[in-house]
Chains A and B, each alone.
Chain A
């Protein structure tokens, strides 16, 4: 066994933890193969694993993020245009704060500084959709090829979506007050201790915010994993059903959660034979679009632009879903 696969199995997939929890379930007098024992095993293992990964990942990523405050991102993107700027915007979106609540101030700040609308939207789409934490988590729960494929298609949606919005010429569809906002530059010199303090603060802040979503997500995952018959799931979302991807997308859009809460549900669904494309579509719909973020966005853009944004992202997610279902056999 190579060092790499050992690290992958033990550090990322935490097989030691799975074994430990299984032993603990047995110690309680439950059979891990039974429904109740299996539910307890799934719940405890997933909750502990996600919180360990979440803390480590947010710490590392926040430390890196402290080098890319929004003001710097805006400076990097300033004065650029064309597809290259969209790609850069999408890439910078992967190393920005996790919370979608921060995306509206960013939108206002970018637009006020005169960044092209399309570039701003490439950034806005990729920011909640793809982040480095989701890559590691996907690799932990599924595999590296799936994680990298998720990032790849997420970036494509962001670049293509932003480019189309840019081509639609909807600059007039932004609420006028946005253009009257002053553009300020922040002092961004931080010491190492300040960066570490910032990263630790982010871990506490985000863990404090997302824990209910993680518990609910893992709870739903445990129910799907142990109690819902495979026949029911495949009748609703099976790979042979053309409506599986649209249903997963439509259900996911209004939901407000983050990648940490959606992954255990995705994990359980894939375990029940649901197509990878269907599951990815669900995860992307939940993270990229949500009712609360659309309501906030409505305050800074007019309806046609909001519809264009929602429509493009939805079409992108559907396309990815169908495409991945067609090639699932390459990954699983």
Chain B
């Protein structure tokens, strides 16, 4: 699956990316992380607060850093 992290490259985005990757691995899936930093593209997902998490082009969460468990429950 393709996991996109939307955000301007802040520290929170990095943590969210790590958590998402860990959650994907825990679920036994291979995941590719794509970081989206262009705000026009970020807005294209309807996101107003970053960091946001997009999995296979579907917006999962915005404005908060989800934990590994939270992402696992949403995947």
Contacts and interface: CB of A to CB of B under 8 A. Distances in A.
B48 A71 contact: yes
B75 interface: no
Given A182-B45, A186-B62, A186-B63, A104 B39 contact: yes
Interface string A272-314: 0000000000000000000000001001100000000000000
A69 B40 contact: no
Interface residues of B, number: 21
B27 interface: no
A67 to B, nearest CB: 13
A111 to B, nearest CB: 10
Given A186-B63, A198-B64, A296-B39, A102 B12 contact: no
A180 B63 CA distance: 21
A194 B66 CA distance: 10
A149 interface: no
Interface in A199-215: 201, 205, 208
Nearest to B11: A205
A64 interface: no
Interface string B38-62: 0110111111111000000001011
A97 B48 CA distance: 12
Given A104-B39, A205-B10, A182 B46 contact: yes
Contact of A181 (B10, B43, B50, B63): B43
Given A177-B40, A181-B44, A105 B49 contact: yes
Contact of B48 (A106, A198, A299): A106
Interface of A: 69-71, 74, 97, 101-102, 104-106, 108-109, 112, 177-178, 181-184, 186-187, 194, 198, 201, 205, 208, 296, 299-300
Interface of B: 8, 10-12, 39-40, 42-50, 59, 61-65
